[in-house]
Amino acid sequence: MRPPAYQQLADELRADITSGRLQPGERLPPEPELCVKIGVSRSTVREALRLLASQHLIVTTRGVTGGSFVAHPDAEHLADALSTGFALLSHSAVTGFADLLELRRALEVPAAGLAALRRTEDHLIELRGALFDPAIDEFDTMMAAHAAFHRAVAKATGNPLFELVGRPLYEASYGEELTGGLPGDYWNRIDADHRMLLDCLTNGEAEGASRAAGRHLDYIAETVR
């Protein structure tokens, strides 16, 4: 069964964008020109453009100088698209908690080393702001702080791809596995790990930061089964 015309047009334009044939900031052909070129109605073109806008691939402006333009890449918007896939997989039989920890290890250990070498004072301020008080012992609060800290480490690498992949990963990597009963000192240990990693980043100790990140994940893997 052939997809609807607006979907076919959206797919063609998406391919032009993701291949680089259409660059960020570049204007798409006007709607009348797309109608003639593709052989579809104006309503079909508008539906295709609405779809691309919802996927954060284009932005549309009004007025004399308006039109549809290829969006500039934004890690937060792109991560939103990945989050859905991560969430679906993490709650399916295809992947489990151990798989997500394995991916975290592949990303976080080298990322910690890079962050130690590349972090700025602003990054350190953000990391300190993500530290939490383990005495609060409120699951959702702790999880939000935990995710914020690791997103800040990814950001401190200076490589937006770490931030892009990390954001949905930290949102999807914990579920019922952590709510079934944690050791009484669990959040104290997580807090201590974060502070040790922050010390390494502050002092520019790349090897120490990578080791701290690895030990942190070892503890999670051993504790949450």
Q: How confident is the model at residue 66 (pLDDT cuts 50, 70, 90)?
A: confident
Structure confidence at residue 72 as a pLDDT band (50, 70, 90): confident
Of 58, 202, 192, nearest to 117 by C-alpha is 202
In this prediction, residues 4-25 reach a mean pLDDT of: 91
Ranges for all domains in the chain classified under CATH 1.20.120.530: 75-223
pLDDT digit string, tens, across residues 105-152: 999 999 999 999 999 999 999 999 999 998 887 888 888 899 999 999
Q: Specify whether the CB–CB gap between 34 and 28 falls below 8 A.
A: yes
Q: Is 63 left (phi over 0), alpha (psi -120 to 50) or beta?
A: left
Q: What is the mean pLDDT of the chain?
A: 86
Q: Which helix (H) or strand (E) holds 58?
A: strand 58-61
Which residues, in sequence order, are bridge partners of residue 69? 27, 59
DSSP 111-122: HHHHHHHH--HH
Q: What fold, for 75-223?
A: Four Helix Bundle (Hemerythrin (Met), subunit A) (1.20.120)
pTM exceeds 0.75, yes or no: no
Instruction: Report how far residue 158's alpha carbon sits from residue 93's, in angstroms, rounded to the nearest whole number.
Output: 35
For residue 49, what are its two tokens? 């453009």
Where in the chain are all domains bearing CATH 1.10.10.10? Answer: 5-70
3-state helix, strand, coil in the chain (%, to 5): 70, 5, 25
**pLDDT score, position 202:** 98
Per residue in 142-200, pLDDT tens? Answer: 888 999 999 999 999 999 889 888 877 776 655 555 555 788 889 999 999 999 999 99
Q: Which two tokens mark 145?
A: 């702080």
Q: Rounded CA gap, 184 and 188, in Å?
A: 8
- The CATH topology of domain 5-70 is Arc Repressor Mutant, subunit A (1.10.10)
Q: What is the model's pLDDT at position 208? A: 98
What's the mean pLDDT in 7-30? Answer: 91
Does position 45 have pLDDT exceeding 90, yes or no? Answer: yes
Helix, strand, or coil (residue 60):
strand
Per DSSP, the chain holds a count of helices (H) and strands (E) of 11, 2
Q: Is the pLDDT of residue 79 over 70?
A: no
Q: What pLDDT is recorded for position 55?
A: 83
